[in-house]
């Protein structure tokens, strides 16, 4: 998992690469929401209630989890929809801001330019050493290859002696690093091309410079549904939770988010959002804190 985020609309690569470049986007839209009754507003620290807005860091190039609509500005997807619903529970606005995936944790903990992370980020023990997570979805890694699977790829071991392409800083990056060691021992080195955006990695596969890319299963499934250039092969690898990233010092905020996500699960809004994006297979029944492995 992204740890990362799943792939982007292949047919919209050029547009999305143009608008989803490195760093934050000054015109990233606010996820709008009603200002009606907010049943869990009292759980938030007063300073956040007074401010009324939380900035959410996200690598907006990972459809269907988060991506730009056809106007190149409006952020849509699973995470924005969940963000709006969470905001409705807490009586605040969640404003999604675009940034490169491998810089999100630094933006949260060091520069503090963002207040949360929602970016198909896998909750792992390694990341839990730096930030806390509220887990809200489960996804494993899928292997994406060129349509027709000309290299006969089915498992990670089939990568040995070949070149693959991935997005750096993701769970798939960690999977690839581990596989490189196995391939090296087998005497068939694995070459890994790493890119800031998954769209760039997918392009390598399409053009034949890499035999495969790896994505979270929702992204992989969405990519193949939108483009005839790719197909998913093999079984999901190392399924685990996506989490909303929160600074470790923001325990009250973390707990409020956990209660809000659980409320959405209990009232059915969560299931409706996942059904809209056809990813109900990743649903969880409990919004846990730091449940990664």
Write the pLDDT tens digit of every residue in 58-106.
999 889 999 999 999 999 999 999 999 999 999 999 999 999 999 999 9
Would you state the pLDDT for residue 36?
A: 52
> Count of alpha carbons within 13 Å of 99, Cβ hemisphere only?
23
Q: Is residue 174 part of a domain?
A: yes
pLDDT of residue 293: 81
pLDDT of residue 2: 53
Instruction: Decide if 3 is inside a domain.
Output: no
Do residues 66 and 78 make contact, with C-beta atoms less than 8 angstroms apart?
yes
Maximum Cα interatomic distance, the chain, rounded to a whole number of Å = 63
**Residue 289 maps to a domain:** no
- Whether residues 124 and 29 share a domain: the answer is yes
One domain for residues 57 and 130: yes
Q: Is residue 291 part of a domain?
A: no
Q: How many separate domains does the chain show? A: 2
* In a shared domain, residues 100 and 20: yes
Q: Cα-flanking dihedrals φ and ψ of residue 14, to 5°?
A: -60, -45
- Examine the domain organization and report whether 230 and 251 are in the same domain: no
Q: How far apart are the first and last CA of the chain?
A: 12
Domain of residue 131 covers 10-139+240-282
Cα–Cα distance between 137 and 57 in angstroms, integer? 18
The percent of residues in the chain predicted with pLDDT above 70, rounded, is 88
The pair of structure tokens assigned to 131 is 């930030």
Low-confidence ranges of the chain (pLDDT < 50): 4-35
94 falls within a domain: yes
Answer for the pair 258, 287: CB distance below 8 angstroms, yes or no: yes
If we measure between CA atoms, which residue out of 49, 42, 246, 38 comes closest to residue 135? Answer: 246
> Is 234 within a domain?
yes
Q: Which two tokens stand for residue 229?
A: 């250039």
Q: Is 172 within the bounds of a domain? A: yes
C-beta neighbour count of 77 within 10 angstroms: 27
Residue 288 lies inside a defined structural domain of this protein? no
Cβ pair 141, 199 in contact under 8 A: no
Domain CATH for 228:
3.40.190.10
Q: Are 227 and 236 in contact (CB under 8 A)?
A: no
pLDDT score for 9: 38
**Same domain, yes or no, for 47 and 118?**
yes
Cβ(171)–Cβ(62) below 8 Å = no
């Amino acid at each position: 998992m992204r740890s990362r985020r799943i792939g982007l609309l292949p047919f919209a690569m050029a547009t999305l690469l143009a608008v989803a470049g490195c760093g934050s986007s000054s015109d990233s839209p606010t996820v709008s929401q009603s200002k009606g009754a907010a049943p869990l507003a009292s759980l938030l620290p007063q300073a956040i209630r007074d401010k009324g807005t939380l900035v959410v860091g996200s690598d907006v190039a990972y459809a269907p989890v988060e991506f730009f609509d056809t106007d190149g500005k409006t952020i849509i997807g699973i995470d924005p929809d969940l963000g709006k619903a969470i905001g409705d529970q807490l009586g605040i606005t969640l404003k999604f801001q675009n940034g490169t995936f491998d810089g999100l944790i630094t933006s949260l903990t060091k520069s503090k330019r963002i207040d949360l992370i929602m970016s198909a980020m896998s909750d792992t023990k390694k990341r839990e050493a730096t930030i806390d997570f509220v887990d809200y979805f489960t996804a494993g890694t899928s292997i994406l290859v060129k349509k027709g699977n000309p290299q006969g790829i089915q498992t990670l071991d089939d990568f040995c002696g070949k070149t693959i392409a991935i997005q750096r800083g993701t769970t798939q990056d960690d999977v690839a690093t581990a596989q490189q060691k196995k391939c090296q021992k087998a005497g068939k080195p694995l070459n890994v091309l790493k890119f800031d955006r998954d769209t760039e990695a997918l392009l390598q596969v399409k053009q034949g410079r890499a035999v495969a890319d790896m994505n979270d299963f929702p992204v992989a499934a969405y990519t193949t549904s939108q483009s005839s250039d790719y197909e998913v092969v093999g079984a999901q690898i190392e399924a685990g939770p996506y989490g909303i990233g929160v600074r470790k010092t923001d325990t009250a905020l973390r707990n409020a988010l956990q209660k809000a996500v659980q409320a959405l699960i209990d009232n059915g809004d969560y299931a409706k959002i996942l059904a809209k994006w056809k990813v109900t297979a990743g649903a969880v029944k409990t919004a846990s804190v730091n449940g990664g492995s």
